[in-house]
Structures are given as structure tokens and as C-alpha cells.
Structure 1
Amino acid sequence: MDRDFETRLVIRQLVEDWAIFRDARLWDRFRQVWHSDGRMMATWFQGSAEEFIQVSQSGYDNGVRILHFLGGSTIDLAGDRAIAQTKMTISQRALVDDVEVDVVCTGRFYDFFERRDARWGLVLRQPIYEKDRMDPVDPAATLRLSGDLLALFPVGYRHLAYLQTRVGYTVKRDMPGLDGPEVEALYVSGSNWLGGKPHRWTGH
């Protein structure tokens, strides 16, 4: 088997493992996707992979329900480093102003991978949020959103951010979207990563 093809299979398996193990809360197996210094970026969380596990489980225990679905993937390889981009959807169900709703956000996972001691692992996951929508679970329900709150967030994830703010999270307001300076800066960071430069962690 071609070595690059085999490497892409390994990385794609890690991408798929992330979604399955995270949503199933199989945390011991989820940890194996990451390197020990791995970092996770999300609208509602920015920090280490281990911290992400803790807050994800705590959220689940408190009724938070976030699920992921994956689509196509492309992987750029450069020696012991790779950038994987994978189409995905994030879905979350919650009460918003006493109405049960589903939010679905479409985008990409933009992943920084590295091979260390013959093992590939995830170093940084940065989602790109392209578009989203919010729908009442009961189609007969009436939902009226605050235009002022929606306007605080980028168009790619404003409904997801609205829901997450309503349930108590502080949402990051400058995540990459379909276009704009944030996603362009991410592409530069990915190119630098493939070129051997260290990644500058910008989470807070």
C-alpha cells in the first residue's frame, strides 16, 4: 500500500474516532486520538483535550446534548505533520426561552496532526463554522429570538451561539467562518504547520 495513502487512512480513522468516542462518552478511547498537549477550540470552550473531556462530561451530566456528524475529508501531508479538513455538522438540542429547539451548524473540522514516536495524534482542532439554523422541535411552536443577541455573533454560528449563551455558556465571538480574516489566518497557520513551524496557541 502507498505510504501516503496508508497515512491518510490512519488520520481519517482518528477523525472518525473523535466524533464517535466523544459523543458516546468513551473518554479513555477518546484520549487516544490526541497527543498529550492537544488543544480543542469550540464556540463554548478553548483549552486542553483533558479539560475538554471534563467539561463535556460535566455538561452531559447537566443535560447538555451536543452531537456530531462527519462528511468528506481531505488531508495534506508534509513528513510527520498533516492538516485534515473534514466536513461536519454540529447539532445541539436545548430549551431556548421555554421552547425546545434544535440547532444544526454546518462547517469543517480543521485539524493539526503530528506523528510522534511513530504515532499520529491530534495537536489542535479548530472548527470552521459556515452556516447554521435553529428550528423548534415542535413545528407548531412559536419562537421569537432577540435580534440584538443574534447580532453579537458571526453569521456562521449565530444561532448556535444564541442557544449556548441562553443555556449559560460564554461564547467566543471570533471563530473562523466561511470567509473573513479569521479563516484566512487559520489557513496561514496550517501552511506554517506543514512547513515545520511551531503552532502558536491563541486560545483563551
Structure 2
Amino acid sequence: MDALELLIAKDAIRDLQSRYMRGQDRLDAQMQHDCFWPDATTDYGIFKGSGHDFVAFAQDLLKGHKANQHLIGQSLIEVEGDIGFGEVYYFAFHRVEIDGQDRDMIIAGRYVDRYERRDGVWKFAHRTELVDWGRMDPAADGFLADLTGILMGARGAEDRSSQRDWLRTA
């Protein structure tokens, strides 16, 4: 694999990582499903099984949250022909309600991935999630309610990022 082919492969894998996270945050199950090969496996500790079964598990779990945001940090990607290996840092924010109080659950860790290119397309063949640390705090963004003109994010079609027709003429 020459330098240009390697660069293209790594870019496709980074795009895969971003689509996975967007599918999770916007509760777009189809986008997240499309990131896994049909025979992909996962091990998240709290869930171990197929990639597609994990998507159903995660989407159902996150529906109970008020908001989520997953940020991708540095990633080390190594490509060996049609197989790639990755270590991807993440920072995950979850707004949850516990005993009637909004809480912010923050989890940071890494994904350890195996990617496979089939018919020119890169997808997850295996994904493991490692948790490095976490914390739970009372929600502290009540001040936003006092500000006017704030555009808040949403899930699915309600989020501006899903409104391509609006964005074309904005």
C-alpha cells in the first residue's frame, strides 16, 4: 500500500468513526448499523454480541437520556492491506435524570477496533470499548434558560444538522 492509498484508507476509517458517533448521538440507528459489517462483533463490557445487536441495545439505552454527545479524540490507525487496527480516544457526555434531578454522566475511554475493507468499503469488524474514567455531577447548565436566541441541539430530524434543505438556503 503506497502513501496515498494509506492516507485514503485512514480518512475513510476516521469518517466511519464519525458516522458511528453521529448515529449514536442523533439516535439514527440506520447510520450506526451501516458502520458494522453484518458479521461484526462487539465487546463493551456491559454488552457483548454482534454489531447490529449492539446498535439496538445502545439506541434503546440512549433514548432514556435527555442528551448525549460523544467526542472523538486522537486515534491511532494502522492499516495492513484490507485490515485496519485502531485505538480511538472518546469523551462521552450523557444527560440523565436520577431521582428527579438532572445529572451529567461523563465517561472517557478508548475504542479498540478492527476494521475491514470489503469491496472498497471500510466498516467495523470488531469494536471493544475500554473505560478509563468517569464521573457523575449535578447538571450545571440552567443558566442557558435565561439566555435568548440560543439554538439548542436535538435528536433526529429536529436537529439542524439533519435539515439539509434548510441549510442549503441559510
TM-score, normalized by length of structure 1? 0.60
Q: Which amino acid aligns with 2:109?
A: G
The reply on whether 1:36 has 2:21 as its aligned counterpart is no
SS of equivalent residue, structure 1 residue 2? helix
The superposition leaves residues 43-96 of structure 1 with CA deviations (integer Å, 9 ceiling, x where unpaired) of 432221221222233334445754311112110111111111121112223234
Return the alpha-carbon distance in structure 2 between the equivalents of residues 61 and 130 of structure 1: 24
Q: Which amino acid aligns with 2:132?
A: E
Partner of 1:73: 75
SS of equivalent residue, structure 2 residue 32? helix
Alignment of 1:161-200 (within 5 A): none
Deviation at 1:5, TM superposition (A): 0.8
Return the alpha-carbon distance in structure 2 between the equivalents of residues 31 and 8 of structure 1: 20
Unaligned ranges ≥5, structure 1: 140-204
Return the alpha-carbon distance in structure 1 between the equivalents of residues 76 and 140 of structure 2: 37
Query: What percent identity do the matched residue pairs reach?
Result: 23
Contact 2:36 2:52 in 1 (8 A): no
Q: Which amino acid aligns with 1:34?
A: F
Partner of 2:91: 89
Q: Which amino acid aligns with 2:56?
A: Q
C-alpha spacing 1:11/1:89, structure 2 compared with 1 (3 Å)? same
Partner of 1:142: none
Partner of 1:59: 61
Partner of 2:49: 47
Return the alpha-carbon distance in structure 2 between the equivalents of residues 125 and 59 of structure 1: 18
The superposition leaves residues 127-149 of structure 1 with CA deviations (integer Å, 9 ceiling, x where unpaired) of 1211111111159xxxxxxxxxx
C-alpha spacing 1:4/1:123, structure 2 compared with 1 (3 Å)? same
> Aligned Cα RMSD in Å?
2.2
Alignment of 1:152-163 (within 5 A): none
Which has a greater percent of strand?
2
Return the alpha-carbon distance in structure 1 between the equivalents of residues 94 and 55 of structure 2: 17
Unaligned ranges ≥5, structure 2: 142-170
Partner of 1:24: 26
Partner of 2:114: 112
Return the alpha-carbon distance in structure 2 between the equivalents of residues 4 and 97 of structure 1: 50
SS of equivalent residue, structure 2 residue 46? coil
The reply on whether 1:121 has 2:123 as its aligned counterpart is yes
The superposition leaves residues 105-136 of structure 1 with CA deviations (integer Å, 9 ceiling, x where unpaired) of 11111111011232211011111211111111
Return the alpha-carbon distance in structure 1 between the equivalents of residues 54 and 66 of structure 2: 14
SS of equivalent residue, structure 1 residue 44? coil
Contact 2:44 2:130 in 1 (8 A): no
The superposition leaves residues 132-174 of structure 1 with CA deviations (integer Å, 9 ceiling, x where unpaired) of 11111159xxxxxxxxxxxxxxxxxxxxxxxxxxxxxxxxxxx
Contact 2:41 2:50 in 1 (8 A): yes
TM-score, normalized by length of structure 2? 0.71
Return the alpha-carbon distance in structure 1 between the equivalents of residues 35 and 140 of structure 2: 37
